Amino acid sequence: MITYFIRTFIFCFIFIQYQGLAQNSPSLRWEPGVSLTKKIDSRWSYNISLSGRQRFTNFGEGEKNFKTDRWEVKSFGTYTLFGRRKLSVGYMYRTVDPFESETGWEHRITQQFAFITTLGGYRLGNKFRIEQRIRSSNYLTRIRYAISNDFPLQGESLDPKEFYLIGGNELVYAFNSLGDELENRFSLGIGRLMPGGRKIQFSVASRYSDLISSERDHIIQFESVYYFNL
């Protein structure tokens, strides 16, 4: 059973990359990160995370083949409602091209509603987000909806030192005075639960941006995140 799911993960992993490489040399990225969650009481919790993004391709003629695209820190405060529904408010600060001569920045405020639904015996995570992005170049508002599912590879429940698969899809709609933009993000990952509720997770995401115009961009992004609780 475990071997079957691992083979499925590898097949989908290769398929995503093949699809991307067939689309006029997609941009390749790697985003490592660390995430900390603290539960205050039965209702309130907060999360803080730090991540960076490294770009490997698609910089234009004369540019180097690798550079740090951005660093960012995020924080979320979450209140749990009845039925495990959750309301969150978040803030993010991002610095763009931090090691270049010309840099940029972004402040982001996020409102989120998350809940669980069940379909065919599977528990699906749902997230609605509204974001206000105040950037050094412009202002942008985005609406996001994501759905995801994760399940253990050994038995019915996930125990320490066991692996799990996670997959999901997200639609991101952005609008401002410069026009509208629609993006789709499909991701597939594998993780391991460790003692103390810590997790390490690796995933690959296929992103198609600007779907409502002829100028589409394809990004293959590899992500690695270490999660732990206090």
Full pLDDT tens readout for the chain, 230 residues: 445 445 555 555 555 555 544 455 678 899 999 999 999 999 999 999 999 999 886 555 556 678 899 999 999 999 999 988 999 999 999 999 998 888 999 999 999 999 999 887 788 999 999 999 999 888 999 999 999 999 898 888 889 999 999 999 999 999 886 778 999 999 999 999 999 889 999 999 999 887 777 677 889 999 999 999 98
pTM over 0.95: no
| Domain residue limits at 119 | 2-229
CATH number at residue 65: 2.40.128
Cβ atoms 88, 74 nearer than 8 A: no
DSSP 3-state of 178 = coil
- Distance from chain centroid for Cα 143: 15
Give the C-alpha distances (Å, rounded to integers) separating 146 from 112, 118, 169, 193. Answer: 11, 15, 6, 23
Q: How many distinct structural domains can be found in the chain?
A: 1
The residue behind tokens 């115009």 is 213
